[in-house]
Amino acid sequence: MSKNYWRLIKTSVFLFFLMPFVGLIFDAIYDQLGANPIETLHFTLGDWALRFLCLGLAITPVRKIFKQNWLSRFRRMIGLYAFFYASMHFLVFIVLDLSLSWEALLDEVPKSPYILMGLLTYLLLIPLAMTSTNAMQKRLGKKWLSLHKLVYVAGTTAVIHYLWLVKTIDGEPIFYASLMFILLSYRLFNYFKARWSLSA
């Protein structure tokens, strides 16, 4: 396929992934966020961050199982969108919910450990986003692969953050927890399979 064709596809996918955010902006403008707009913004942005994390982690198993290598072209974009929605989720919490009060944040953390888990997840995503360029990949070499394995930890802490936040083990929480378990188990299985092959 030509470069122009792929450029068109990537632009279309980019705009498609941006639609949830644009939808939230329109809902905010037209007062369609419900009785608690800040909570709606906060939760919806967090949901999309988790969805993009899962989608990014699903690229490798889907690509290998169905032999669709072209999916790798979208992995970086998906990862950056996960970081974007996580950033918006964090900003809504800090700016709109806590009014930029670090004292309020420090007061909330002991009472709500899910906040600490959310902050940990976000901190793990920052170096992944900062080193997502081709230039950084070349500069870091093999260290780049090791660094980007932090996404597995971030995926785990994101699910824990979500479970501790909603305090219920049904519906969506179970779906995301199960999906993340499957995606990480696939990688763990392949890791041990490769080790066994080398030792055989």
CA atoms lying within 13 Å on the CB side of residue 43: 12
Quote the domain boundaries for residue 21. Answer: 3-199
Q: Give the per-residue pLDDT at 1.
A: 61
Give me 118's structure tokens.
Answer: 């959310």
What's the pTM? 0.94
State the pLDDT at residue 200.
58
Tokens coding 160:
């824990």
Per-10-residue mean pLDDT of the chain, 200 residues long, equals: 83 97 96 94 96 96 91 94 98 92 83 91 97 93 93 96 85 91 94 76
Burial of 60 (0-12, 13-18, 19+ CB in 10 A): middle
CA distance 71 to 82: 17
pLDDT number for residue 94: 94
What confidence score (pLDDT) does residue 128 get? Answer: 97
Return the pLDDT at 111. 80
Number of domains in the chain: 1
Confidence (pLDDT) at 170: 75
Task: Give the pLDDT score at 17.
Answer: 97
